[in-house]
Structure 1
């Protein structure tokens, strides 16, 4: 099996990057031959802006732009997708949201049918979501942010395309000394993914 870990944070020394690396290390350490690729969207300079070429692809009047086609190929190689990101305004950062906007395209991730139904084309993909935030769990629950993110991300993106979200983890209070605990959780997530390759 092969995992693609996508990380979206501008600082390569951030806890977000450390969590992504720890997950990857734990997947490899499981010893099942499960391979890992880390896609650092900021370092790679991925352009998140949905542009006229993307619009043409949506309307099926042009082929995928080269950068989108490259991401399709990278995802086609993956059995597991892990997204690791900081929470910005209770969602993905713009860089990661733009990656989803441009890459999870009509005709590739899903297909609208003439009868108004949707064909889900990513059913083979297993997904793990890992969001890091500075707020505490009590505030997340009190304001309903956790449920809102599950509706928007887990259901609105991945279920729509047929991908199965196997875990959706919020690593909270990241600004107040929880880093070591979060890195241990990241290792647990990676071990779970790695062991699943042998199942």
Structure 2
């Protein structure tokens, strides 16, 4: 039975962003997936990578990649990181669910990547990057909302081309670690729509997560 991990970062449990995350989870379950959700705000996730991420003593200058690699070899990650690494290991599908803030992910989600995509497990050390990345064999995609309308994205448009804006996430985080990246599922400016518009968009999300096997591959 395939397993999905959804890493969700929105501070409002009743937001449209959270609603579409639940819609995606239900669609995956209907397809036979088991689904696990890391709701970072609800978990009070600590976004800061620091010495407390490790149970081993760190002497001298703190070099995070080196400390991560040593912890990967010695199994000395702090409990919150160890728990997320176990979830990540179980996952066949990884979904980042978030509102696009400042043309990127919320800081809490970036902090999850900083602390969980660790050297020696997700990349580097005894594993490589891209096709040799530690997360190879997994698929992933972005599920997010925007504040701008769809026509504000594109060549020459006000907000720029969406694939360019997402490059640092899709290529620099997911594909860098070996995750095969599927085309993102985007809900443009739900706050500007009517309740009927938002219901229709939830249907789009449901359909997208029901047909993942036919979704275009962006990287990998």
Both proteins in one fold, TM over 0.5: yes
Deviation at residue 166 of structure 1 after TM alignment: 1.5
Q: Distance in 2 between matches of 1:193 and 1:39?
A: 21
Greater Rg by CA? 2
Q: Distance in 2 between matches of 1:148 and 1:136?
A: 17
Instruction: Tell me the residue number matched to 2:48.
Output: 49
Q: Distance in 2 between matches of 1:68 and 1:145?
A: 34
Q: 1:147 to 1:34 in 2, by over 3 A?
A: closer
Instruction: Tell me the residue number matched to 1:165.
Output: 181
Deviation at residue 130 of structure 1 after TM alignment: 1.0
Q: 1:112 to 1:165 in 2, by over 3 A?
A: same
Show the 5 A alignment for 1:21-40: 21-30=22-31, 33-40=32-39
With normalisation by structure 1, the TM-score equals: 0.87
Count of equivalent residues = 191
Give the conservation status (yes or no) of the 8 Å contact 2:50–2:64.
no
Give the conservation status (yes or no) of the 8 Å contact 1:57–1:64.
no
Higher strand share: 1
Deviation at residue 145 of structure 1 after TM alignment: 4.6
Show the 5 A alignment for 1:63-74: 63-74=76-87
Give the conservation status (yes or no) of the 8 Å contact 1:28–1:194.
no
Encode CA deviations 1:122-161: one digit per residue, 9 max, x unaligned: 1111102111012012212213251332311111111111
With normalisation by structure 2, the TM-score equals: 0.79
Give the conservation status (yes or no) of the 8 Å contact 2:104–2:166.
no
Deviation at residue 171 of structure 1 after TM alignment: 1.1
Instruction: Tell me the residue number matched to 2:163.
Output: 147
* Secondary structure at the counterpart of residue 42 of structure 2: helix
Instruction: Tell me the residue number matched to 1:83.
Output: 96
Structure 2: gaps of 5 or more residues: 54-61, 216-220
Q: Distance in 1 between matches of 2:70 and 2:177?
A: 21
Q: Say yes or no: does 1:187 pair with 2:206.
A: yes
Give the conservation status (yes or no) of the 8 Å contact 2:4–2:33.
yes
Of 181-190 and 74-83, the range deviating more from structure 2: 181-190
Q: Distance in 1 between matches of 2:15 and 2:38?
A: 15
Structure 1: gaps of 5 or more residues: none
RCO comparison, higher one (Cα < 8 Å, 6+)? 1
Runs of 4+ in 1 over 6 A off after TM superposition: none
